[in-house]
Amino acid sequence: MQVYYDNRQEDIEITEEIKNLIKKSIAAVLKIEKLDENVEVSVSFVGDEEIRKLNRDYRGVDKSTDVLSFPMDDEFILDNRILGDVIINTKRVMEQAEKLGNSNERELSYLTVHSILHLLGYDHMEDEDKKEMREREKLAMMELSIYR
C-alpha cells in the first residue's frame, strides 16, 4: 500500500504515529472488503477554510465539513490500484473528538475509514445505504480494536 500525505494545516502535528494509524485504518477497510492492499491513496490534511472551498467548488455546498472523498474517476484510471484522494479537516477532527469524548487519533481513524469506504463506492444518502455503510465502518473500527 502506498499512501501519499500532504499536510496543509497547523491544527494537529502529523507524526509518524498518525501516518501509521491512517495506513492501518485503510488496511482495515481493505481487509473487511477482502481487497488486495496493493493500492494507492492520497491523504491531505487541511484547515476549515480550504475544505470549505473544496466542498463549494466540487460539491456545490458552501460550508465546512469534516472529510471529503474524491474517488479516481473511471475516465482517468490508468491503474486500478489508485483509489483516490481523502481530504481531512483537522480543525473539525479536534472539535468532533472533544464533543464525542474521543481522542484526535480515534477521530482521524474513523474519518479515514469513512472516506475509504466512499472511495470504494459506499454512500449514505439513502437509509438502506447508510445502514450498510455504518455496518462496514463498525467492522473496520472493530478490526482496529477502537470501536466504541
Mean pLDDT by 10 residues, the chain (148 residues): 96 96 97 93 97 96 96 65 94 96 95 96 88 96 86
- Which pLDDT does position 147 carry in this prediction? 67
Q: Using alpha carbons, select from 42, 52, 50 the residue that is nearest to residue 19.
A: 42
Binding annotation for Zn(2+): 114, 118, 124
Determine the pLDDT at residue 81.
83
- What CATH number is attached to the domain comprising 102? 3.40.390.30
Cα 70 to its chain centre, rounded Å, is: 10
- Domain containing residue 97: 2-143
Q: Please check whether residue 21 lies inside any domain of the structure.
A: yes
Find where cell 481523502 sits. Answer: 86
Task: Say what the pLDDT of residue 148 is.
Answer: 65
Residue 148 lies in a domain: no
138-140-146 Cα angle (round to 5): 75
Predicted local confidence at residue 19, as pLDDT: 97
- The count of domains in the chain is 1
In degrees and rounded to multiples of 5, residue 93 shows phi and psi of -55, -50
- Does any domain span residue 62? yes
Asked whether residue 68 is assigned to any structural domain, the reply reads yes
Give the pLDDT confidence score for residue 83 in this predicted structure: 92
**Structural domain includes residue 112:** yes
Question: Which amino acids are annotated as binding site, given as ranges?
Answer: 114, 118, 124
